[in-house]
Amino acid sequence: MEALFSDVFQKPEDSLPDSSETFEQIWTDVGECTRCSLCEGRTNIVLSRDPAFAAPGILVAPSIDAALAAARGDALRRCADAIAVIGGAEIYAQWMDVADRLEVTEVHARPEGDTYLAAIDPADWEQVARARYSASSDDSADYSYVTYRRRKSH
C-alpha cells in the first residue's frame, strides 16, 4: 500500500490560487479525494491532541499510530491502494518515515515565520516530477509542485 503525503497551507490567505486545482489533479490521478476540505465518500481521519474535538463525518485519532491503524484498516476494507496524509510541518515530520511518496508545494519566497518543513534528504527520496509556475497577479511568489518517491533502499 502506498502512503502519500501532500502539504497544504494552514491559512487560506497563504494559499496560492492555482494550488487547489493541482491538488485536485494529484488526488484525482491516484483516485483519492478532489477537494482540500473533507472529502465526501472517503474516510477522513483527523489527528488531534484535543480529546474533546469532534466534527461530523470524521474519525478523530489521538496519535499517529491510531491514525495509521485506522487508515490502513479502512484502506483494506475499501480495497484502496493509497492513504493520503495532508497537513502542515508537524504532520509532515510525524509521517515522513511512513510515506512512500511526497507531493510538495515549494513556494519560492522567504517569508518571516517560525515553522519550517524538514529538508527532504536526497539519499532517501528521488525527485520524479517538478512543475514550476510563475507568480500570477494574484500570487505573491513563484512556486513549484514536486513529486518525490522513496528510494528502494529505505
Higher local confidence (pLDDT), 100 or 11: 100
Give the C-alpha separation, 135 to 125, whole Å.
27
Walk me through the domains of the chain, giving residue ranges and CATH numbers: 2-150 (3.40.430.10)
* 80 has a pLDDT exceeding 90: no
Residue 121: pLDDT band (50, 70, 90) is very high
Q: Cell numbers of 136, please? A: 500570477
- Buried-exposed string 42-78: b where 16+ CB fall within 10 A, e elsewhere: bbbbebbeeeeeeeeeeebbeeeeebbebbeebbeee
Mean pLDDT on 92-115? 86
Higher local confidence (pLDDT), 88 or 29: 88
Give the C-alpha separation, 22 to 3, whole Å.
19
Q: Are strands 101-108 and 82-87 parallel, antiparallel or unpaired?
A: unpaired
